[in-house]
Amino acid sequence: SDVTFSGFGYLMVFVNNVLTAINLVLVRRTLDQVAKLSPLVLSLYMFSYNSGPCLLIWLASGEARTVVDLVIADPLYRSPGFFFAMLLSASSAFFITFATTLSTGVTSPLSTTVSAQLKNLLQSIFGMFSWGYVPNAINVTGLMVSALSQIMFASIKYRENRRQRDAAAESGGAPLTSTALVVKSSSTNVS
């Protein structure tokens, strides 16, 4: 059994997954429907629109007061090194959002979700070995199911693209590049 099980925590993870899926579908539709809107511009809009609500939540939750108290109490939080680390953290958050938006625009929301799960799988495995965690049978089974599903998805997409390329070659048309195949096949899946 999971020592840190929390029903509310698992519910929040489920809600997060649903909202992420909705966000990716909306990103893809926005990129498809709005002419001349690049993934970079869409990412900038998303950050601009989300800044206000995040600031209000930060202030209303009392977390802003805690941050001010920490900055006043500890000179480490006023050092150039800390500000540089915060700038790097904020920049990496923006670039992750941009990469996700770009991936969704070039492929599909499903492909983006699967690639994100692969990243999570690798992070979990790295974390298990880095911090001395002793995995149990349930953890290993979960990781194996996740890895197997990603392999199955990749093989299905590969076969779809290969079939389309072979069909284009047989019909005398110029073979499409793999990127064009992914964009073409994903645009029919999202609508």
What pLDDT was estimated at residue 165? Answer: 84
Q: Which pLDDT tens digit goes with each residue over 164-187?
A: 888 888 887 655 554 444 444 444
Give the sign of the dihedral formed by CA 88, CA 24, CA 31, CA 157.
positive
**Token code pair at residue 74:** 């500890």
Q: What is the mean pLDDT of residues 144-157?
A: 82
Q: Which residue has the tokens 């001349």?
A: 36
Calculate Rg over the CA atoms of the chain.
21
Q: What is the mean pLDDT of the chain?
A: 82
Angle at 142 between CA 137 and CA 143, to 5 degrees: 100
* pLDDT tens, position by position, 92-102: 888 988 998 99
Full-model pTM = 0.64
